[in-house]
Structure 1
Amino acid sequence: FHSSGAIHSLYFDYYIQQQQRHGGRDRHGGGQLKLMNHGPWGQASSYNSIAVRDEIKLSAREQVTAVEGTVGNFRDVDEPVITSLTFHTNAGRKYGPYGGNGKQGTPFSIPVGKGCIVVGFWGRCGWLLDAIGVYVSPQS
């Protein structure tokens, strides 16, 4: 995603395992990985943020379990926007805060229920990200 004092854009991608079936059963226990991507929400080049790009790479078994951040004013934008984002994982890692320092604005938290993980994101935006949500699934 792109950020400075606010989150300018958010984009995510992930791999899914495609099953290869021959004769009605899976062969070789696998399949191919297919890249899936979603977004972007927001404008990567807004407010000169194009050079401020952050990328989070989770390990193979690491999954997002909570998202938190702040909402507030940014420069000359009339409406509140997401000013910082932090991601927590099942590996006990914390990524962020990205955007602002996480201390300015109104804090929000998107906790994920026990035994569940984040499997996707959605966002709403104009020039900047002004809303974020998550899709949740039981952990398998």
Structure 2
Amino acid sequence: MSSRSGAPLTHQLEPYDWSNEETAAYEAAIEAVNGAVSAYSALIAAEEGKAEPDQGLIERAHAARSQPPRDREGLRSGDREQIAAARRHYAQVARDVRGGMALHFQLRAAASQGGVAGRERRADAGR
């Protein structure tokens, strides 16, 4: 990418000396953001692969998946608080989405088997 003058944008950046700690923290934040995008992508793919996908869920997941890359672009390598907050937030988002997927699939499986009560009735009937 280049600026209006045609010079690469990287030539306009001020020099910045990163410590190993800052580099690792920044990379961890980037990985957390990417993990959230990946979790949303997995949710979308899993839902789209179903015989009767929930279009509302797919649309919400697509919308939610668009935010992390925008936030990633706004990360400032020298802002330790912002980097730490992004890492915490997006690591939690990824866990929540993946956890929600697991719960969603458990609930869907239970519903297809008549729910928890239905399984219990079938188990009782077999005794």
Is TM more than 0.5 here? no
Larger RCO, structures 1/2 (Cα 8 Å, 6+ apart) = 2
More helix by share: 2
Question: What is the TM-score normalised by the length of structure 1?
Answer: 0.25
State the structure with more CA Rg.
2
Provide TM-score, normalisation by structure 2.
0.27
Name whichever structure is richer in strand by fraction.
1
